[in-house]
């Protein structure tokens, strides 16, 4: 199957009268996506080691649709390559404007005379640049290079999808000092199966660590119940590492927000009725050839994409969730299962349960164009 390289035009948006280019995702039929680097981007390997290679700003790259976590940060994997780029260089992050700000083309020349007003939010990409005047700037938009002073920007805005509100998280506020209080304290790291592992050595009482996150994570799910709390532990992350401390083994100078890794990084649905499974071309899958469907069931099922798929038989596009799992309880037989390599279910056939509320990664028009291009390529 040929990759659909027909890109839709990337629209410009106006921010307080200033035209900003935004990174737009284009869905290919084979499941990969085309994104735009918005910041000079170092290339890393699967272990988070800098390879010395870079991609320049505003370069189009083909990546796998789902980000992966390496050493606590999110990366996009370039499709078919052992190359990873930080997601913040592509998708950016939202920041609040704390002081009325101008957008600059250089350290001495404004891009426009209009102000970006205090209280608005803008998207910044990658790390800040230090200009010749000694001040630091974040890149915003493009393709002409545009910047806003770091000093005028405040918090990173993260959307708490579970509560459907915008919460503001300043990374510097998610940092504190913890002091070891338990003589049995060990430093934990996840193995390849996310089991908590240590070298067996204990940390002396009174030892202090700077930590930057308090999280119920994959290690928590694999950890035995904590004797003190009677529940699976939350872990403090030692700043800048993938090493963790059990919350109950230390005391903190100040409280940090408790994060739930699964709810903040994934999306879950429920099967509220027997449901057909589709492939990326809009065809119903029946791998066993006996009319199998995913059966109505309890439990939360993980999905990672929401997109439109063109249905040729119905001559329209509908919204689908992409299933992370490959095997599901099915409708035929007491212990019957349906196994699919790459499955999708109609959003109208299931119910959102918890986690991130996904936005469609394409439009109905793009889904139709992808279908038509695929057909023409195969003829």
Q: Looking at the predicted structure, is the pLDDT value of residue 280 above 70?
A: yes
Residue 14 in any domain: the answer is: no
Q: Looking at the predicted structure, is the pLDDT value of residue 30 above 70?
A: no
Rounded CA separation 70/49 (Å) = 10
CA neighbor of 368 nearest in space, from 33, 100, 77, 29: 29
271 and 374 housed in the same domain: yes
316 and 374 housed in the same domain: yes
Rounded CA separation 329/294 (Å) = 6
179 and 166 housed in the same domain: no
The model's pTM = 0.50
pLDDT, average across residues 342-346: 94
343 and 362 housed in the same domain: yes
Final residue before a domain boundary, out of 222, 256, 290:
256
Domain count, the chain: 4
314 and 357 housed in the same domain: yes
CA neighbor of 361 nearest in space, from 337, 375, 344, 374: 344
Beta bridge partner(s), residue 54: 42
Q: What is the pLDDT of residues 107-152, one digit of tens each?
A: 788 887 777 888 888 888 888 888 888 888 888 876 667 889 988 8
What six digits make up the tokens of 188? 């934990």
The values of phi and psi at residue 236, to 5°, are: -90, 135
Q: Looking at the predicted structure, is the pLDDT value of residue 166 above 60?
A: no
Task: Write the CA distances from 120 to 12, 98, 137, 281, integer angstroms.
Answer: 18, 8, 17, 40
Full residue range of the structural domain in which residue 77 is found: 24-89
101 and 82 housed in the same domain: no
pLDDT at 228: 64
| Residue 89 burial (C-beta neighbours within 10 Å; 0-12, 13-18, 19+) | buried
Mean pLDDT of the chain: 81
Final residue before a domain boundary, out of 256, 284, 303:
256
pLDDT at 77: 92
Q: What is the pLDDT of residues 298-317, one digit of tens each?
A: 888 999 889 999 998 899 99
End-to-end CA distance of the chain: 11
């Amino acid at each position: 199957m040929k990759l659909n390289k027909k890109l839709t035009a990337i629209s410009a948006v106006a921010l307080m009268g200033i035209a900003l280019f935004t990174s737009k995702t284009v869905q290919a039929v084979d499941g990969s996506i085309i994104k735009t680097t918005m910041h000079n981007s170092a290339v890393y390997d699967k272990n988070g080691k800098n390879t010395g290679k870079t991609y320049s700003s505003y370069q189009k790259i083909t990546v796998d649709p789902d980000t992966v976590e390496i050493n606590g940060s999110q990366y996009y994997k370039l499709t078919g390559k052992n190359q990873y780029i930080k997601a913040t260089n592509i998708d950016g992050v939202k920041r609040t404007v704390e002081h009325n700000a101008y957008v600059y083309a250089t350290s001495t020349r404004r891009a426009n005379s209009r102000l970006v007003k205090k209280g608005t939010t803008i998207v910044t990409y990658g790390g800040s640049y230090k200009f010749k005047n000694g001040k630091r700037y974040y890149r915003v938009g493009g393709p002409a290079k545009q910047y806003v002073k770091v000093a005028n920007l405040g918090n990173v805005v993260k959307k708490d999808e579970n509560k459907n509100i915008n919460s503001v998280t300043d990374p510097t506020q998610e940092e504190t000092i913890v002091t070891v209080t338990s003589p049995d304290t060990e430093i934990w790291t996840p193995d390849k199966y996310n089991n908590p592992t240590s070298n067996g050595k204990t940390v002396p009482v009174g030892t202090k660590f700077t930590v930057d996150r308090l999280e119920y994570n994959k290690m928590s799910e694999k950890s035995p119940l904590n004797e003190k709390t009677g529940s699976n532990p939350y872990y403090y992350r030692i700043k800048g590492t993938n090493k963790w401390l059990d919350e109950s083994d230390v005391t903190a100078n100040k409280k940090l927000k408790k994060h739930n890794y699964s709810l903040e990084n994934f999306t879950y649905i429920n099967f509220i009725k027997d449901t057909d499974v589709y492939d990326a071309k809009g065809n119903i899958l029946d791998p066993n050839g006996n009319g199998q469907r995913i059966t109505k069931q309890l439990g939360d099922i993980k999905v990672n994409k929401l997109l439109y798929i063109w249905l040729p038989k119905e001559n329209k596009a509908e919204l689908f969730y992409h299933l992370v799992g490959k095997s599901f309880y099915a409708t035929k037989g007491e212990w019957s299962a349906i196994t699919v390599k790459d499955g999708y279910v109609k959003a109208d056939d299931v119910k959102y349960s918890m986690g991130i509320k996904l936005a469609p990664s394409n439009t109905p028009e793009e889904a139709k164009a992808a279908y038509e291009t695929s057909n023409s390529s195969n003829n």
